[in-house]
Structure 1
Amino acid sequence: MTKKRYFIQLSYDGSLYHGWQIQPNAITVQALLDKAMSVYFRQNIETLGCGRTDAGVHATDFYAHFDVENIEEAKVLKAVTGINALLPYQIAVKRVIPVKDDAHARFDAISRAYKYYVHFEKDPFKVNRSWLLKDQLNVDLMNKAAKELLNYTDFSCFSKSNTQTFTNNCKISNAVFDVLDNGLVFTIQADRFLRNMVRAIMGTLVRVGKGEINLEDFKTIIESKSRSKAGQSVPACGLYLVEVKYNCIK
């Protein structure tokens, strides 16, 4: 029996963790998942995630791939309950999926979607899960600005500085605000996202909603390709990775 590759689908509340990716002297989702899986499978397991969420960011749909040696596929696919028993309550494995040996959780993803939640009145049940914002916002104008994102591909102005990406080009296919009871949710979908991109976009759209900049200003910011021109990044607590799509799995 030889090494076999699998995808693992999971969700997590990121409030207590320093993001997904393993870091020295910090508790991360990846570190806890790798430890639990290594214990369960009785061999060293190293996952590679579909992306990296920052500290405090949540995921309702996240994928990683891993390789396991000398274990029958049927046993690996039944590992969900056992792995979950070794993980804290904030992290939940949903399923394990057999894939081709060259399948890649990051590079094979064809689209990703995020949601960002805002609420306008103090609510103890939304602490660390939504951003409390007391400003009045023009949602119609924010939606007009969000729609403009679909007309651009270079989003350097919304990217964290000094990243190791080869390009800042992304294709956004959806960007819209929906009104909730006592709040808003912003949904955005693209083929890829830059580091800090969604939080920077949200911070700039809030400036539009508050009347600090207009629609033409918003387009000028994108065309400037300058991070200093865009709005501040909004807090991590309201951000959720909600969908990752692949051609290689259903």
Structure 2
Amino acid sequence: MCVEIPLLHRYFLRLSYNGTDYSGWQFQRNSITIQQIINEKMSLLLREHIEVTGCGRTDAGVHASKFYAHFMSLKDDLDTDAKVLFRLNKILPYAIAIQKITKVPEKAHARFHAYSRTYEYHICRVKDPFGPYLHWELTDLLTIDLMNEGAKILLGYDDFIAFSKTSDVKTTICKLTQAEWKIKIGEEGTAQEGKEIGYVFTITSNRFLRNMVRAIVGTLVDVGREKISLADVHRIIQSKERSQAGTSVPAQGLFLKEILYPKEFNL
């Protein structure tokens, strides 16, 4: 007797989230995570067991302006039925928003097929009652030219174990293509309109190690404070010792901003 195996369809979710109240993306026992919430709500809505796999594992308190996750479903029209997206967003918490559902090739993988990832880290020098959990409030006046010189040094290396929280990975090699600081300007219509209110660090790579971006930012802030020199940045990277690098800056200033995939995914 032949048993018919149900046909499963693979989809990508494009979403964004405010990570303030969550213990990161990845499922954890006794903690509330983004992945857990999406699994529960999608399973409830679609009336089938759904497990989403994310493009990365953001830490507790970290945000994502753009994030992708894939999942399998028995249903073949989730990308064309607008009611599904509407209903899913209605039952998800306010801090999690799904923008799009796309049907993708059978073996498309949200994590392994991403070839570029971009993060931003936001520092604000003035008190902002509307965004205390969306940036690191740091009143220090930093020397941005020195920080950018330090950022350029990063582009000359590919082993970033000195900025990693753990060495328990297959490789610590990352191919950085961008590392740059810019002055943050107050938005139009606010009390700080047109004023220099902080700094934004943008970094792009094919992959990142755990805690890597926050450790890099902490090190470059030390450069901007003139606590360490540009020669020290070389020394820290070459040491391959986490204890030599700067402190890990607070999670709330970090945003995953962009993920790139092959064109055939039609994302």
What amino acid sits opposite 2:236 in the alignment?
Answer: I
Find 1:189's aligned residue among 197, 201, 204: 204
**2:181 equivalent to 1:177:** yes
The answer to whether the 8 A contact 2:79-2:102 is kept is no
Partner of 2:218: 203
Partner of 1:222: 237
What amino acid sits opposite 1:124 in the alignment?
Answer: P
Q: State the Cα distance separating 1:103 from its structure 2 match.
A: 0.6
Secondary structure of 1:204 counterpart:
helix
The answer to whether the 8 A contact 2:14-2:67 is kept is yes
- Unaligned runs of 5+ residues in structure 2 are 1-5, 186-196
**2:87 equivalent to 1:82:** yes
What amino acid sits opposite 1:211 in the alignment?
Answer: E
What amino acid sits opposite 1:136 in the alignment?
Answer: L
Larger Rg: 2
**2:169 equivalent to 1:154:** no
Find 1:121's aligned residue among 121, 126, 130: 126
- Unaligned runs of 5+ residues in structure 1 are none
Q: Relative to total residues, which structure has the larger helix share, 1 or 2?
A: 1
**2:8 equivalent to 1:20:** no
The answer to whether the 8 A contact 2:65-2:256 is kept is yes
Partner of 2:107: 102
Partner of 1:235: 250
Secondary structure of 1:126 counterpart:
coil
The answer to whether the 8 A contact 1:77-1:96 is kept is no
Partner of 1:42: 47
* Aligned alpha-carbon RMSD (Å): 1.2
How many Å separate the matches in 1 of 2:112 and 2:260?
11
Deviation by residue 1:88-141 (Cα, 9 ceiling, x = unmatched): 110000001111111100000010000000011222112110001121211000
Q: 1:99 to 1:222 in 2, by over 3 A?
A: same
The answer to whether the 8 A contact 1:147-1:175 is kept is yes
Secondary structure of 2:72 counterpart:
strand
Deviation by residue 1:144-202 (Cα, 9 ceiling, x = unmatched): 11011111000000111253x20000000001011012111000000000000000000
Deviates most, 186-195 or 77-86: 77-86
Count, aligned residues: 248
How many Å separate the matches in 2 of 1:77 and 1:91?
20
Identity %: 49
What amino acid sits opposite 1:104 in the alignment?
Answer: H
What amino acid sits opposite 2:178 in the alignment?
Answer: N
Secondary structure of 2:71 counterpart:
strand
The answer to whether the 8 A contact 1:11-1:92 is kept is yes
The answer to whether the 8 A contact 1:7-1:97 is kept is yes
What TM-score, normalized by structure 2, do the two folds share? 0.90
The answer to whether the 8 A contact 2:16-2:97 is kept is yes
Q: State the Cα distance separating 1:249 from its structure 2 match.
A: 3.1
What amino acid sits opposite 1:129 in the alignment?
Answer: L
Q: State the Cα distance separating 1:86 from its structure 2 match.
A: 1.1
Find 1:31's aligned residue among 21, 29, 36: 36
